[in-house]
Chain A
Amino acid sequence: MRTKLLLLLSSVVFTFAISNAQTIPIKGTVTNSKGVAIPAATIKIKSSKIGTQTDENGNFTLSVDPGKTLVISAVGYEPIELKAQDNLQAVLKEKDNNLAEVVVTANAIKREQRSLGYAAPTVKAAELTVGQSSSALTSLTGRVAGINVTSNTGAPGGSTRVVLRGGSSVTGNNQALIVVDGVPYNNSDNIGGGSLTAVNFGNRGNDINPDDVASITVLAGPAATALYGSRASNGALIITTKSGTNNKKAEITVSSTNTFSSILKLPDLQNQYGQGYYTGVKSDGTLAYNTQDWGDNFSWGAPFTGQVLPWGQQIDGVQLKKPYSADANNIRHFFSTGFATDNNIAVTSGNDKASYYLGLNALNSNGIYPTSVDGYNKYSVRFNGKANLSNDFYTSVNFNYVKINSGNVAGGQAGGSVLASLYQTPRDIPIDKMGDLNNKYYGYGYTDASGGYHSDKYGFYNEFYPSPYFLLANYRNYDDVDRVTGGLNLGYKPVPWLDVLERVTTDFSSDRRRLQTPKYTYSPADPGTAGNPPAYPASALVTSNGGYEEDTYTIGEINHDLMVTAKHDLGTDFSGSLMVGNNVRLDNATTTTISTNQSSGLIAPGWYNFGNSNGPVAATNNRSVQRRVSVYAGLDLAYRNIAYLDATARNDWSSTLPVNSNSFFYPSVSGAFIFTELIKGSNFNRILNYGKVRASWAQVGNDAGPYLLGTTYSQAAIADGYSGGVTVFPFSGVPGFMINDRLGDPLIKPEITTSREVGTELGFLDNRLSVIANYYSNRSKNQIISSSVAPSSGYLFSTVNAGVVENKGVELTLRGTPIKTHNFSLELFATYTKNDNKVLSLPNHAQIVIGGFNGMAIVAQEGLPYGEFYAVTNQTENGHTVVSAADGQPVPTTTAVYLGSYNPKYQASFGGTLTYKS
């Protein structure tokens, strides 16, 4: 299910500068970097129409409050902003006629886009908040080629996955790493419950407030992220948040955004057949249906006739009547309009030594389910500050605290799933109008005609599944999250060519969930004598043993980086820098789940406490610790503004690999050549103002998860997929252990992904049209996967190094500004991505089962794309389906066959931005 943005109710931004000075005339000069005066340069007071121009000597006079911001621009130069002051000396930099955007790459290193030998498309704050999504990640959708953003639910806070360039890992998490101001973020999915009872608790990437974001740079290839190590092997999103500016008075920005959402897409539903079921073929060859089973929950009944017929339970001798016809919107109209209000206050200020940004955010929303059980409230504070301690030392700190409390509606197909209840509603049942649980035909517990209350009877039509309104009213999944992320940077710059930076970052979150399943037993209010067979027999209970569960996830990560960067210019043409660094990373995670007895649930209804467990409480706990030590180096060389060469190398030592082979090394090299520099000033250069070609080769290594080396035992619990455990231990006081279902590998090796990329970036007509094109080829080797093995081996999974998977593809981004006037501009963008992946080899495995449910498996098989469907299908002969002579049913194949890949053939997007008087 997805939601769409219905309407932007209001989006208000106030900016006011605090000032009380008098307007006085100031004088100033505008020159270029060589000290030459610039005539006819424009000096304007920012956000006003007041301004002037320089004379032929570059001098100007303007009446303005000191401290106001002036925007100084001239044709052929980059505009700059300065604080108004007398004797203002403005130095403008020559425009490079190119995409001279600064991008922030790995380890928060600022680089000019032109110097990068790899693709690094950047999306700016303005674009991210256009459309006002409550998630910074979802707003990336369609804006960058090669990015695949998927949301599990449309609700604020639902999981958002960001995958760049297809899946390179056979089984693992293919998500991109998120780095905010140098702090790596954990964005793993948080799904509570099993496959039948899934509750999506969202993932932590959504904790980033889009209003705090200054820009997001997408680093798709591993070359870009060699310095982040293995976790960036699936690419990285480098997010920079807003910061204060030196010598700027306090500025307060208040913004408020309100959004409505409603259901966008539902499964296609038929509107020809109604409640009941098909019973067979009559002797005359026509089909027979049972239409008198009013308690049935599916639409396998007779075709609609429009005839007025009874439906639902007979209560107090009376059955409701309605036309036997489709209620086409019964499911759509069940949903209500979601509402979210997002309020932000941002304060920035700075003097000559220090500056800061303080952002406060509150997001309050109520999703599209009726009632407010799907509320999501997020409060966050971000503080970014920096200060120069002395001439040599500088420091910066960023800190973000997020508090979330939310209610989540269960999915899956088990008892509490609202969607499972809703989607199985027969097409003729007006479920959207049955929300009044006090109505005796819709509710649970009813008052009869003589005033007697029956607490144990239900009047709702469905005898197999409770009303979705009843589920919403009684099942609860609460989630409370506290998260602190932050970093401390301490820099030492004794001489201009040397920079020593020490950085400590942390990402710590505590996620506490409470899952309440009500205990109830209702039997039908109907005496159960009407119909053939009678609907609502006394045994048609709607019942649940109830349950209560508390889960606590505590995840913490600490990173320590020390980087020493030296820069040196060799003459006027060559420059270079060398960086060496060290990283120490500690990951700690603790999970505790406690629940009331998983088969017998609660004793007394309504009391959600472990003291109310009907039988032994079930508890599990899990701790994991992972540590890594790395050293890395990077060398950048530049020849004028024309050619660039980067090389990186990294060595990691990981605690999760076998002690004697826990080290792995991976280098990268990339180059860029700006060929338009050679034709500078030519006519052709006016058309093609910027042109760059680049190439890169990189390797990325990856270690294993913790504790994958051995095969271990745990407390015995024998599960069947229906209940929490059919037989659990201790059994009548006798303890039992069992071997775990996963085989370890004591000789596991690290994964290595090798990638090659070539690309070009072209800017036409002063960048009114720009093109970015890439071709890449990645090979992942020795992937560490948990492959399914034949259960007759005694195990279900096996940790192995397996396979070489190749991803090859092209990415194309086009941006154009067909209309650009003083007040009005239209920008269009389009992206196209085609990724082919292929499993090149799987030593010791003909194939690996990487997923699937029930009859369908998703496998990796040598020579086929990764993610091939593999299942039993119907036998065919000469293109015709073979059917059984006995019953006319299709005959299945005796072994599984390959049925195609789930990978999209290509992905494309198209969008635009219309701006009127920014």
Chain B
Amino acid sequence: MTTRINIIKRIALFVCPAVLLLSSGCKKFLDVNQDPNNLVSAQPAQLLPTIEASIGVALGDDYYPYGNIWSQYFTQSAVASQYKTIDQYLQVNADFNYAWMHLYQNALINDQLMITNSRGNTALVQYLAIGYVLKAYGLQLATDAFGDIPMNQALQGTANKNPAYDPQATVYDTIFSLLEQGKALMNNSDPHNPGATDLIFQGNMNNWIAFANTLELRAYLRLTQVDAAKAKAGVQALYASNPSFLTTNAQISYTATGGNQNPFYIKEVALGQTVNLAASGTVVNAFVRNNDPRQFAVFDTIPGTVDTVIYLPQGAYASFTNKVCSTPAALVAGNPQDPNSALAPLFLISAAESYFLQAEAVARGWATGSASSLFTQGIQASFGADGIPAAAAAYLNYAPDAQFPAAPADEIKAIITQKYYAMCGSQGFEAWTEWRRTGYPSFFVPSAANGGRTYPLRFLYPQSELTGNLNYPGTVAETTPVWWDK
């Protein structure tokens, strides 16, 4: 028996460490699942810049080629092929994956988390307020492009992985209410100011109030064709609050530092700096008709010439009539071979747009003021943004499209057409959106590359929703207008 006992003793020497591990030490030994690589929670101060930059990427990168080509500022250049399908009106769902992702998974979810984390904390009221307004801005960006979108059931993570889509009318109602909620909280004297973490206004809450008012005006005016009464009531109620409107550009400024450059420029550099875009005949001919000096600001002239923008007719990249074309200028981020494109700012709402929106409200008789002088201020602001403020005065004198019409019926056309010139290259998506609403400018041509297809009136839902959302409503054709587009 002694042998046995010895054996058992010796075995015990082996087994002991294992037994120790399994008892009290085991829990501790296994307690190593705290992720050292990521953060458990984030403060609004760290989320706000991400939200703003994400909107910058969605609007300034994903939306940029669609907006600028479908508003006939740019067309596919004859020496490359990257954006052919945009001129051909041949989109597929997957083309919009990144736009959707940047809106929902980068901008809106972080905004939602910022709102949730700020609620009820007196030190975070201004973050909460900005959160509401940016959510309204992001929702409008999404719904104007895609129509009906997930909203009420969206951004809930595990609680709802298949958000249902809400009608665009509901989305607009939410936009109005978010703006009111946000404005009510904004206070420039609040000692807890976001400061530099706010990439757009550096914490200037008065600018944010003006931004919210201008956005509200833009949103109500969007409904003029589908529900004029509601648009009118909304605009009148807004004016009744004695609102301030934007007099400066609401913009994100980019730098030459890698990763902080204009997002469209970064993409074009990653695509090998190929010159993919050329000046479109549609806008250039209109500029020429008005002898508009802004054409030399937004387009590069051909080397060796000083005063000629050489254009390609919209979509005519395959018909070779123009051997060498002007490219969009660095001012609007459109020239990948000009490093100054890195510095092009991204306008969320421009000052010029603010004046033209006010001019329209007055022209419709829904607000008091002088439509004509707001129209002029809009043109001046646009020349200012293009770096040629001094040239505005002469232009206002000689340009046919700068003359404010005498007949009220023509006023909307004149205002939207001037807004169109002001947005060339810098706010292509908004210009296309306003063309969808008003039909102005009236000189769009069918793309030479359209192959018989009709003009696109919306973005397609992304592939990621098509295959990933059980409540996917079905792809709506690109040619189907959105709700407010009557």
Q: Which residues of A contact B (CB under 8 A)?
A: 279-280, 290, 415, 463-464, 492, 494-495, 498, 500, 502, 532-534, 537, 539-545, 562, 564, 582, 584, 597-601, 613-616, 618, 621-629, 631, 653-656, 659, 662, 706-707, 709-714, 716-718, 720-729, 731-741, 743, 745, 788-796, 798, 845-846, 849, 852, 854-855, 857, 859, 870-872, 884, 886-889, 892-896
Contacts of A720 in B (CB 8 A): 57, 61-62, 98, 102, 263, 267
A631 touching B50, Cβ below 8 Å? no
Which one of A537, A718, A727, A728 has the greatest number of beta carbons of chain B within 10 Å?
A727
- From A716, A734, A740, A886, name the one whose CB has the most chain B CB atoms within 10 angstroms: A734
A728 to B56, CA, bound (A): 12
In-complex Cβ contact of A790 among B3, B49, B464 (8 A): B464
List 6 interface pairs A-B (beta carbons < 8 Å), by A numbering. A542-B272, A627-B29, A736-B47, A743-B158, A872-B475, A889-B453
B453 touches A627 (CB 8 A): no
Of the residues A618, A626, A739, contact of B113 by C-beta under 8 Å: A739
How close is A466's CB to chain B, nearest CB, in angstroms?
10
Indicate whether A626 sits within 8 Å of B32 (C-beta atoms), given known contacts A494-B10, A793-B161.
yes
Q: Does A796 contact B38, Cβ atoms closer than 8 Å? A: no
- Least CB distance from B431 to A in Å reads 23
Q: Which of A495, A533, A616, A627 contacts B257 (CB 8 A)?
A: A616
| CB proximity of B348 to chain A, nearest CB, Å | 15
B228 at the interface (CB under 8 A from A): no
CB pair B467 A707 closer than 8 Å? no
Say whether B468 faces chain A, with CB atoms less than 8 Å apart.
yes
A498 CA to B40 CA, complexed, in Å: 51
Identify which of B104-112, B349-357, B396-404 touches chain A: B104-112
Please pick, from B34, B94, B108, B263, the residue contacting A726 in the complex, using a CB distance under 8 A.
B263
Contacts of B15 in A (CB 8 A): 562, 564, 582
Cβ distance B194 to chain A, nearest Cβ, rounded Å = 10
With A537-B79, A712-B35, A790-B162 already in contact, the answer to whether A629 and B22 are too (CB < 8 A) is yes
> Which among A464, A597, A718, A791 is the interface contact of B272 at CB below 8 angstroms?
A464
Q: Which residue of A lies closest to B22 (CB)?
A: A629
Are B452 and A712 touching (Cβ within 8 A)? no
Q: Are A598 and B199 in contact (CB under 8 A)?
A: no
B269:A582 contact, CB within 8 angstroms: no
In the complex, whether B26 has a CB less than 8 A from a CB of chain A is yes
Interface pair B33/A886, CB less than 8 Å apart: no
A791 to B163, CA, bound (A): 9
B54 near A718: Cβ-Cβ < 8 Å: yes
Given contacts A795-B109, A795-B157, 11 further A-B contacts (CB under 8 A): A279-B318, A564-B11, A582-B15, A599-B258, A655-B32, A722-B271, A726-B266, A727-B259, A738-B47, A798-B161, A895-B472
Partner of A793, one of B160, B263, B319, B466: B160
Which 6 residue pairs spanning A and B have beta carbons closest together? A615-B258, A600-B258, A794-B109, A790-B469, A597-B258, A712-B38
- In the complex, are the beta carbons of B42 and A629 less than 8 A apart? no
**Given A736-B53, A738-B50, A894-B475, does the pair A791, B100 have CB atoms closer than 8 Å?**
yes
Instruction: Answer yes or no: B361 CB below 8 A from chain A CBs.
Output: no
Interface stretch (choices B120-128, B148-156, B176-184):
B148-156
User: Which residues of the other chain, A, contact B34 by a CB distance below 8 angstroms?
Assistant: 707
Interface contact A793-B273, CB-CB below 8 Å: no
Category for how many chain B residues contact A: 35 or more
Which residues of B (425-443) have their CB < 8 Å from a CB of A?
none
Report the bound CA distance from A790 to B165 in whole Å.
12
Q: Is the CB of A896 within 8 A of B467?
A: yes
Asked whether A727 lies within 8 Å of B263 as measured between CB atoms, the reply is yes
On chain A, the residues within 8 Å of B110 by CB distance are 738-739
CB of A761, distance to nearest CB on chain B (Å): 37
Whether the Cβ atoms of A712 and B40 lie closer than 8 Å is yes
Per-residue CB contact flags for chain B residues 42-56 toward chain A (1 = under 8 Å, else 0) read 100011011001101
Expressed in whole angstroms, the Cα–Cα distance for A740 and B42 within the complex equals 11
B21 at interface, CB cutoff 8 A: yes
In the assembly, what is the distance between CA of A706 and CA of B102, in Å?
A: 27
* A887 & B453 in contact (Cβ 8 Å cutoff): yes
**Complex Cα distance A655/B31, Å?**
6
**How many Å lie between the Cα of A790 and that of B94 in the bound state?**
14
Whether A854 pairs with B94 at a CB distance below 8 angstroms is: yes
Decide yes or no whether B371 CB sits under 8 A from chain A.
no
Residue pair B467, A500 in contact (C-beta under 8 Å) = no
Which residues of chain B from 310 to 354 have any CB-CB distance to chain A below 8 Å in the complex?
318-320, 322-324, 327, 337
Interface string of B373-387 (1 = CB under 8 A from A): 000000000000000
Q: How far is the CA of A849 from the CA of B38 in the complex (A)?
A: 25
Nearest B residue (CB) for A414:
B270
B79 near A790 (CB under 8 angstroms)? Answer: no
Q: In the bound complex, do residue A713 and residue B468 qualify as a contact, i.e. CB atoms below 8 Å apart?
A: no
Chain B residues whose CB sits within 8 angstroms of the CB of A896 once the complex forms = 466-467
Closest to B150 in A: A792
From residue B66, how far is it (CB to closest CB) to chain A in Å?
A: 14
Q: Of B30, B79, B93, B272, which contacts A872 at CB under 8 A?
A: B93
Complex-state Cα separation, A790 to B6, whole angstroms: 64
Q: How far is the CA of A532 from the CA of B3 in the complex (A)?
A: 99
**B92, CB-defined interface residue at 8 Å:** yes
Contact residues in A for B7 (Cβ distance below 8 Å):
494-495, 498
List chain A residues, Cβ under 8 A from B109.
739, 794-795
Contact A737 B47 (CB under 8 A): yes
- Closest chain B CB from A626 CB (angstroms): 7
**Do A793 and B156 contact each other (CB < 8 Å), given the known contacts A539-B79, A654-B30?**
yes
A539–B467 contact, CB under 8 A?
Answer: no
Residues of B within 8 A of A741 (CB): 105
**Cross-chain contact A727 with B3 (CB below 8 angstroms):** no
Scan residues 36-90 of chain B and give those whose CB is less than 8 A from a CB of chain A: 36-42, 46-47, 49-50, 53-54, 56-57, 61-62, 78-80, 90
Q: A539-B79, A886-B454 are in contact. Are A625 and B32 (CB under 8 A)?
A: yes
> B288 at the A/B interface (Cβ < 8 Å)?
no
Kindly provide the distance from the CB of B313 to the nearest chain A CB, expressed in whole angstroms: 14
Of the listed residues B11, B161, B453, the one surrounded by the most CB atoms of chain A closer than 10 A to its CB is: B161
Residue of A nearest to B319 (CB): A279
B105 touches A855 (CB 8 A): no
Say whether A718 contacts B269, CB under 8 Å: no
- The answer to whether A729 and B320 touch across the interface, beta carbons within 8 angstroms, is no
Task: Across the interface, name the chain B residue whose C-beta is closest to A712.
Answer: B38
B225 at the interface (CB under 8 A from A): no
Question: A871's closest neighbor in chain B, by CB?
Answer: B467
Q: Are A653 and B318 neighbours in the complex by a CB distance under 8 Å?
A: no
The answer for the CA separation of A625 and B78 in the assembled complex, in Å, is 54
Most chain A beta carbons < 10 A, residue from B26, B158, B253: B158
A415 adjacent to B272 (CB under 8 Å): yes
| A859-B464 Cα distance, complex, nearest whole Å | 12
In whole angstroms, what is the CA distance A890 to B153 when docked? 34
Nearest opposing residue in chain A for B100, CB measure: A791
